[in-house]
Every structure is written in C-alpha cells, then in structure tokens.
C-alpha cells in the first residue's frame, strides 16, 4: 500500500509569485485535505476535495485554490504569495470525506522571500 | 468544534510511562477524541481514537472518564523516539474530521531524555 506523497519537498518563492504543490493520495482513498502549518503552530485546515469537488473550506482567502484529478491526486495553488504564506503545507487523504481517519504526507516546506 | 486544552510541554525519561491529559469541557454528545503524533518536518500520524472509557492499541492507551470532559493519552515505556508533538482533537465524526477538516491546537511537546 502506497502512502501519501507530496512534491516538491522544499520550495523557495518570492512575494507576488504563484506556486503549485502536488499530492498523491493513499491507494484507495478518494478524499484529499490540505493544511497549512506555520512554525510552532498546529496544522490549519485549508480545504478538502472529495471526488474532484471541493467539499469544505477553512478560513483561507480565495487566492488559495485547489484541484483534484480523476485518480484522486490533488494540487494546491497559491497566487500572489505573501511572506506569511511561508509554512509547511500538508496533504492528507482519507477513505471518504465523512470523518474517516486522515493519513498525512510528509509536507512541502514553502519559503516566501 | 469543541476547544481542547493540553500542556504546552512535558519531559520524561526512557522507560517511563507518560500520560498527557487534554481538557475538552464543551465536548458534544457526538464528538470523538482523537490523538495525533507529529515529528519535526513530518505530517501528523494518527495514534488512537475513542469515545468513552478506555481504548488500547499497540502504541498507546486512551482513558476517557464518564463525563468525557477530559481524556488522557498514555504511552507505556517511552523511548527517545517518542519525542514529538502530540495533538488532542475533538470532533463530531469518527476522526474529528470530515468536510470541516481537523482542528489542531498547538499540541504538547513531549521530550524524552536518556
């Protein structure tokens, strides 16, 4: 069974740029959730995708957007990057979108300069 | 979602049993209690989940009193590799997640010394 994978592992961008982060869900899982974790804080929920549709969203602005593909992999896109977007971005997959245990990937460390 | 309160940090020694208590005074009838473990620069890892009384798996035990306003994660005979951040989550689904996502606090930094 393949676990959740994310790419890239690290990324450096400058303010105002756009970034795309990628996630492959665990085999058999059709739901992907994205989280942002600032240094010293717990992960904060960004949004969730279930069968290619956005299924819930946290308190993040519209410049955070996502996609889920037919194979249930997912992308997180962030436009107009700000310095405060520097964080660890985590992807988690679950069997369904209805409260199943979420399995997290290793994350992508984004640094915005 | 019910708010949780847990100690910011704890220290212990190898071979000891460690108990981390989480308060959740406003827990709702349908809420479950879930604990995650996170190592630096890694994603959180599910440890254990329970609704009431006691749950045990190969990694930990979870004790929940009758009023469910608190819970205690018990790690038996810890080792240096148990040094991590432990999060207590409370939510109205099987894993405190679903369409609203998981709500993490700042967690408890557990440091195990030789």
The pLDDT tens digits of the residues spanning A59-79 come to 999 999 999 999 999 999 999
Contacts of B100 in chain A (CB under 8 A): 45, 56, 58
Q: Which residues pair with B50 in a beta bridge?
A: B33
User: CB distance B98–A99 less than 8 Å?
Assistant: yes
Task: Give the residue with greater pLDDT, A2 vs B103.
Answer: B103
Nearest one of B97, B13, B5, B67 to A32, comparing CA atoms? B97
| pLDDT tens per residue across span A29-50 | 999 999 999 998 999 999 999 8
**Rg, Å, chain B Cα set:** 13
State residue B100's pLDDT score.
63
Model confidence at B1, in pLDDT bands (50, 70, 90)? low
Contacts of A44 in chain B (CB under 8 A): 104
Q: Which residues pair with B104 in a beta bridge?
A: none
State residue B96's pLDDT score.
45
Residues B35-60: what's their mean pLDDT? 93
At residue B88, the 3 state secondary structure works out as strand
User: CB distance B43–A45 less than 8 Å?
Assistant: no
Nearest to A41 among B93, B95, B106 (CB): B106
Compute the distance between CA of residue A93 and CA of residue B80 in angstroms, rounded to an integer.
29
Number of H helices, E strands in chain B: 0, 9
Tokens of B45: 């890892």
């Amino acid at each position: 069974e393949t676990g959740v994978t994310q790419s890239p592992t690290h990324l450096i961008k400058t303010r105002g740029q756009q970034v795309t982060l990628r996630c492959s869900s665990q085999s058999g899982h059709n739901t992907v959730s994205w989280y942002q974790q600032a240094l010293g804080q717990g992960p904060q929920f960004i949004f969730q995708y279930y069968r290619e549709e956005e299924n819930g969203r946290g308190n993040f602005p519209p410049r955070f957007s996502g996609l889920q593909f037919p194979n249930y992999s997912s992308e997180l896109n962030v436009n107009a990057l700000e310095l405060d977007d520097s964080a660890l971005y985590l992807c988690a997959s679950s069997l369904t979108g209805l409260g199943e245990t979420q399995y997290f990937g290793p994350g992508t460390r984004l640094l915005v300069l | 979602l019910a708010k949780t309160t847990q100690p910011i940090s704890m220290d212990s020694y190898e071979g000891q049993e460690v108990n981390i208590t989480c308060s959740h005074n406003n827990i709702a009838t349908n809420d479950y209690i879930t604990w995650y473990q996170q190592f630096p620069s890694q994603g959180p890892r599910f440890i254990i989940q329970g609704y009431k009384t006691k749950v045990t798996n190969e990694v930990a035990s979870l004790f929940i009193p009758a009023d469910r306003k608190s819970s205690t994660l018990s790690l038996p005979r810890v080792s240096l590799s148990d040094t991590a951040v432990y999060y207590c989550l409370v939510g109205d689904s099987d894993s405190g997640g679903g369409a609203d996502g998981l709500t993490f606090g700042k967690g408890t930094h557990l440091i195990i010394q030789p």
